[in-house]
Amino acid sequence: MQLGTFSAVACLCLLVLAGCGEPAPAPSTSATSAVPAAVPAAVTPGGTAVDAEAPSLTLRADAAMQAGQRQEALELYERALQQNPEDEEAHFNAAFLSGQLGRTNEAMAHYRECIRILPEYAEAHNNLGNLLRKTGRAEEAIRHLETSLQHSPTNSSAHNNLGTALALQGRVSEAVPHFVRAVELKPDYAEAWLNLGNAYLQTGRTEESLRPLQNALTLNPGLEPARRALGRARERLSNAPRPVKQ
């Protein structure tokens, strides 16, 4: 599940799924606005007449989200959660919308509630990890991203995001296998190819960086960080000392 805008970071120019690394039923890798489906909140046995309103509110929130009415959808999810605070999907979607609206603290709070209710919710860990990374809490971000991968080891977004978090801590060699795995799982993942190429550049593997960077540009010709990184790699190779023939 991969949403959000991309941001260049440090000398690696690492691209990560910003916002929340948000989930989507049909991800498109870059800056997508697709939204997760939600499960209506269940009415508990013996619930009151007020409790019975929650599923209706959730369905209305789903429709508003699909229509792009983010503020209205968020308000409806929050009303539904007042009636049924244990609905992890409503927390998840409220977190998604809060992140899209720039309300990072609210988004993190909803993701934490989601994880409290369902500790193995891989996407909630992934998205919370991204928000923590954005707010400079890399170590906690890494813990959540690792937990996400424990529960969903084939999530290409989580691998890319964990690689980015590790690289931002200077652990670039540890990041490389996650970028490699991300592109193995999703060969058309242009941003992960870019991150892999930049990681190779950062660790002195300049020749190896060429293919990932070229792949990134083939997949997304408008990905300027990849074009700049490829130029740096070619320049570095052209300036490298050539072996003297005996």
> Is residue 244 in some structural domain?
no
- In the prediction, which pLDDT does 243 show? 63
- In the prediction, which pLDDT does 240 show? 73
Q: CATH code at 139?
A: 1.25.40.10
> Is residue 85 in some structural domain?
yes
- In the prediction, which pLDDT does 55 show? 73
> Is residue 243 in some structural domain?
no
Between CA 121 and CA 193 the distance in angstroms is: 27
b/e for 205-228, b at 16 or more Cβ within 10 A?
ebebbbebbebbbebbeebebbee
Does pLDDT of 123 surpass 60? yes
Does pLDDT of 235 surpass 80? yes
pLDDT digits (tens, 9 = 90+) for 57-113: 889 999 999 999 999 999 999 999 999 999 999 999 999 999 999 999 999 999 999
> Is residue 1 in some structural domain?
no
* Strand ranges for the chain from DSSP E: 6-7, 16-17
The torsion angles phi and psi of 224, rounded to 5 degrees, stand at -60, -35
- In the prediction, which pLDDT does 10 show? 34
The tokens describing 164, both together, are 């980015």
- In the prediction, which pLDDT does 28 show? 26
Contact 19, 33 (CB under 8 A): no
Q: How many domains does the chain have?
A: 1
Contact 132, 164 (CB under 8 A): no
Mean pLDDT score, 129-149: 94
> Is residue 245 in some structural domain?
no
Q: What is the dihedral of CA 81, 86, 90, 93, to 10 degrees?
A: 120
Closest residue by Cα to residue 92 from 74, 69, 79: 74
Between CA 79 and CA 94 the distance in angstroms is: 10
- In the prediction, which pLDDT does 160 show? 96
pLDDT digits (tens, 9 = 90+) for 180-218: 999 999 999 999 999 999 999 999 999 999 999 999 999
Q: Residue 206 corresponds to which amino acid?
A: T
> Is residue 82 in some structural domain?
yes
Contact 148, 164 (CB under 8 A): no
> Is residue 176 in some structural domain?
yes
The tokens describing 161, both together, are 């995001």
Range of the domain at 34: 6-43+51-238
Q: Which residues contact 200 (CB under 8 A, 6 or more apart)?
A: 176, 206, 208, 209, 212
Could you tell me which residues are beta bridge partners of residue 17? Answer: 6
Q: Which residue has the higher pLDDT, 4 or 154?
A: 154
Mean pLDDT score, 139-150: 97
- In the prediction, which pLDDT does 244 show? 57
Q: What is the pTM of this model?
A: 0.76
Between CA 143 and CA 39 the distance in angstroms is: 27
pLDDT digits (tens, 9 = 90+) for 61-72: 999 999 999 999
Length of the chain: 246
Please state whether 189 falls in left (phi above 0), alpha (psi between -120 and 50) or beta. beta
Closest residue by Cα to residue 230 from 182, 202, 194, 185: 194
Write down the mean pLDDT value for the chain. 81
pLDDT digits (tens, 9 = 90+) for 6-47: 233 333 445 543 333 333 322 222 222 233 433 333 333 334
- In the prediction, which pLDDT does 245 show? 62
Closest residue by Cα to residue 35 from 65, 76, 4: 65
